[in-house]
Chains A and B, each alone.
Chain A
Amino acid sequence: MSAIEKKVFLADLYQRTESILNLAIEQYQNLDEKALTFTVDEQSWNIAQCLAHLNTYGHYYLPKMKAILAKSNEMSLADYVPGWLGNYFVGMMDVDNKQRKKYKAAKQHQPQVEDVYAVVTEFIDQQEIFLKYIKAFERVDVNGIKIPISISKLVKLRLGDVLAFMVMHNERHIHQIKNIQRAHSNDLTERTVSTTLAP
């Protein structure tokens, strides 16, 4: 796997996370309960569930990142070298991947929504924290440090791969949210039209 200049790699992740956070601030936190709980069908998640699912990853990975940063790590500016396993997980999440399939979320990543607004608030909190950590990792060895993945403590990924996966995974579900919003908008239009045309 080719090495990527670390500064470039992290700047890219930072910008993409910043875009997601901006979307959440401009749009999601201003949606009402109807919009947050609208579903296309019974099998599909609504916006609140998508965000709750993403929050489960933040619950697991952000404390691990915090622990890494709390240790006095040897400074490293070495290029990021994607691991093959990391690339595999990232590929699964790639929104542009034409082979993209639906995956069933692992049990600990199934969304549990009690308060839709609290879910959005938490998502925003997590992205703010994640941005700070991405910046802080500029000085940390993203190749040498490994984190066990959330669904199996036996499998460890390089920190750089975890960061790439987190962002790509977020983007996958943001894409899903855009589709939900579009479907909701179409649904509202159809209702308005049918009400207008009703005899």
Chain B
Amino acid sequence: MGSVELDRPIDVLEAYVKKHFSLSASSLTEFLSPWRIFQAERKEILTPQGEQERYLYFVLEGVQRVYALNSEGKEATLIFTYAPSFGGVLNAMMTEQVSQFFYETLTASSFLRAPASEIKRIMLANSEIAQMINLGISGALGGVLDRLAELQLMSSEEKFRSLLKRSPHILTLVPHKYLASYLGIDATNFSKLMNKVKI
């Protein structure tokens, strides 16, 4: 039996949900209903700091980041998102508070996105979907805790290797300054590390 070719973006999302969660057929149909295609160019800010997160994103193509910006203009890249995964500033989406962070494309990107209000409505009406979203958010929280532990316990070289293990192609997908920021390394040390580790 051959593999099913996923032509439509919604098929990609369906396959992802089926792989990571278990939903009844009717709940799956309901969950898939509010998603629409959205495309953005490189370096487009999808969610500015200080505004509400209006969407839940599902990444089809490209690389994006969630980043913090301090009052002196210094940036810290917190999370990368790329296909296939959910994206957006998830805590802001769930709490309906203004976002403390930016969500931005680093390359030309395409997504499916659903209005946060629709996701909330579906969650209220369907407890199976609500449970799925809770599991997803818990997974994301676990990822953030792993990252915090990594940042505090690992050496620069270990962090770099860990990143490459998770995302082997990332060195050729995004400018290294964002990777350096993500790893908490300055750009000069990043270049030295890159040449040391890659050999």
**A interface, CB within 8 angstroms of B:** 18, 21, 25-27, 29-30, 32-33, 115, 117-118, 121, 124-125, 128, 131-132, 135
Contact = CB atoms under 8 A, between A and B. Distances in A.
Contacts of A118: 187-188
Nearest to B192: A117
Given A117-B187, A131-B42, 19 more contacts: A18-B42, A18-B108, A25-B174, A25-B175, A26-B172, A26-B173, A30-B194, A30-B198, A33-B195, A115-B188, A117-B188, A121-B176, A121-B177, A121-B187, A124-B175, A124-B177, A128-B175, A131-B43, A132-B43
A115 B188 CA distance: 9
B96 interface: no
B42 A121 contact: no
B171 interface: yes
Q: Of residues A21, A115, A117, A132, which shows the largest number of chain B Cβ atoms within 10 Å of its Cβ?
A: A117
B44 to A, nearest CB: 9
A30 B42 contact: no
A59 to B, nearest CB: 18
B41 interface: yes
B191 interface: yes
B172 A25 contact: yes
A21 B173 CA distance: 11
Contacts of B108: 18
State which size class the interface on B falls in.
Answer: 10 to 19
Nearest to A33: B195
26 contacts: A18-B42, A18-B108, A21-B42, A25-B173, A25-B174, A25-B175, A26-B172, A26-B173, A29-B171, A29-B175, A29-B176, A30-B171, A30-B172, A30-B198, A115-B188, A117-B187, A117-B191, A118-B188, A121-B175, A121-B176, A121-B187, A124-B175, A124-B177, A125-B177, A131-B41, A132-B43
The 3 A-B pairs at the shortest CB distance, nearest first, are namely A117-B191, A26-B172, A124-B175
Contacts of B171: 29-30
B184 to A, nearest CB: 17
**Main secondary structure on B side of the interface with A:** helix
Q: Of residues A25, A115, A118, A132, which shows the largest number of chain B Cβ atoms within 10 Å of its Cβ?
A: A25
Interface in B39-65: 41-43
B69 to A, nearest CB: 16
Nearest to A21: B42
Interface string B185-199: 001100100110010
A18 to B, nearest CB: 7
A124 B180 CA distance: 14
A94 B125 CA distance: 62
A149 B175 CA distance: 30
B61 to A, nearest CB: 14
A170 B13 CA distance: 40
Contacts of A121: 175-177, 187
A118 B180 CA distance: 13
A113 B126 CA distance: 61
Contacts of A132: 43
A27 B187 CA distance: 17
